[in-house]
Amino acid sequence: MTYTENIRLALQAIKSNRLRTMLTALIIAIGLSALVGILTTLDAVKKSMTEAFSNMGANSFTIRNRGTGIRIGGPGQDAKPFKSIRYEDAVAFKNRLAVPADVTISVIASRASTAKYNKEKTNPNIVVQGIDENGLKAQGLDLTLGRNFSKAEAEQGTDVCIIGNELSNSLFKHESPTDKIITVGSSRLKVIGVLGSKGSSLGNNTDRAVFIPLHKAKVINSNANPSYTLTITVANNDQMDNVIGEATAEFRNVRKIKITEPNNFEITKSDAVAQTLFENLKYIAIGGVAIGVITLIGASIGLMNIMLVSVTERTREIGIRKAIGANPSVIRKQFLIEAVVICLMGGAMGILFGILLGNAISLAMGGSFIIPWLFIFGGFALCVLVGILSGYYPARKASKLDPVEALRYE
């Protein structure tokens, strides 16, 4: 008997027990939905993070007063605090570092400001960040209107600003924002530039941000003891280690750290945060796989039970087929194919639901829609494996039935 005939008989058996088949397929679908959904979400998050960090520049590192403190799972441990990096220290370092690299100074002046223009007003969720003339480049931001800060504006704290795309659309619905005066907090600022839409990444939404000259941020900063961040970008990644060494030595001199004392600041490469997150995301992936596998084990047990019931119900049919010439191999293949078909039905539903669920979470987090081809093919392969493992014992039992006894079965 051909495989085509076996598949036809398997489909007939499935149709005759639609409810039982659909319930079993649904259990398999739930297991694969959990597995594919979590893995798809993680893939989308990794892609979004990679894009975010690549926009910041792979050939850069940051000097700050404390580490990122990012940890998912593992023992809890707070980032070691160091004294704040003062404005004077940051400026001195920028002026004294004699290496082929661009130094950017930035600081958050406020995280909950309100922006106003005429009758238009935003919610108090505007981030105000002070940057120098290299700040936009260091963060991978591009202007769609206007111009960047000049070095003089950054150092003198001129009352000018660059606003995000979403903020521009909120305040200036029918007119150009350039050269208009807006009120941010208690400061009146002239808009000289508008950023292109960037979206939200890692909780940082530049579309709702206001960028002001660095010295202006120093004057209006809502934090009594702000810590400035230094970002150093090198032209060639091969120079990274040398520049880090030079920057470490120079900043130690600026901070007047003795030779016997350790650094009271931390240096982080631009890709180190991403690598840390990727490492920690493995724990979530392991948990997702465990949930999916446990559910699939339950589904496979249910499928095996259904196949055993099916063998018992169709004992007389098996006896008739053996009596007209079907050998044990043909009987075994029929029941195995039936188990695999049920698994593939559930797998198709599970993979579809998993992809939709994973991408829905990804889009809600500001990520992009992806089609995880590896998980799709892997999911179908897993379905075939589950079908074979669950159906083998019932198929073997059916193939070993004595045809005479099977024909006498009522």
- Reported as a single tens digit per residue, the pLDDT across 136-178 is 888 888 899 999 999 999 989 899 999 999 999 999 988 899 9
Q: pTM here?
A: 0.57
* Consecutive H or E run containing 84: none
Identify whether residues 15 and 130 lie together within a single domain: no
Question: Does a structural domain hold residue 381?
Answer: yes
Q: What is the DSSP string of 280-299?
A: HHHHHHHHHHHHHHHHHHHH
**Mean per-residue pLDDT, 306-317:** 80
Residues 108-146 pLDDT 10s: 999 889 999 988 899 998 999 999 998 888 888 889 999
Q: Which positions ≥6 away from 237 have C-beta within 8 Å? A: 58, 59
Identify whether residues 216 and 310 lie together within a single domain: no
Mark which of 208, 229, 259 sits at the end of a domain. Answer: 259
The tokens for 130 are: 């002070």
What are the beta bridge partners of residue 105? Answer: 230
Please check the confidence at residue 71 and state whether its pLDDT lies above 50. no
Identify whether residues 39 and 96 lie together within a single domain: no
- Region of residue 70 (phi > 0: left; psi between -120 and 50: alpha; otherwise: beta): beta
Question: Does a structural domain hold residue 59?
Answer: no
pLDDT score of 337: 84
Confidence at 55, pLDDT banded by 50, 70, 90: low
Domain total of the chain: 2
Collect contacts of 154-159 with beta carbons under 8 A, ≥24 apart: 154/213, 154/214, 154/215, 155/213, 155/214, 155/215, 156/213, 156/215, 157/213, 157/214, 157/215, 157/216, 157/217, 157/218, 157/219, 158/213, 158/216, 159/187, 159/188, 159/189, 159/190, 159/216
Report which of 336, 378, 355 is spatially closest to residue 13, judged by C-alpha positions: 336
Identify whether residues 250 and 292 lie together within a single domain: no
Identify whether residues 304 and 165 lie together within a single domain: no
User: What is the rounded distance in angstroms from the CA atom of residue 341 to the CA atom of residue 337?
Assistant: 6
pLDDT score of 72: 43
* Consecutive H or E run containing 184: strand 181-184
- The residue segments making up the domain with residue 246 are 83-259
Question: Does a structural domain hold residue 266?
Answer: no
Task: Report the chain's mean pLDDT, rounded to a whole number.
Answer: 82
pLDDT score of 190: 94
Identify whether residues 226 and 321 lie together within a single domain: no
Identify whether residues 387 and 303 lie together within a single domain: yes
Identify whether residues 243 and 101 lie together within a single domain: yes
What are the beta bridge partners of residue 127? Answer: 209
Identify whether residues 36 and 102 lie together within a single domain: no
Question: Does a structural domain hold residue 22?
Answer: yes
pLDDT score of 383: 83
Identify whether residues 102 and 235 lie together within a single domain: yes
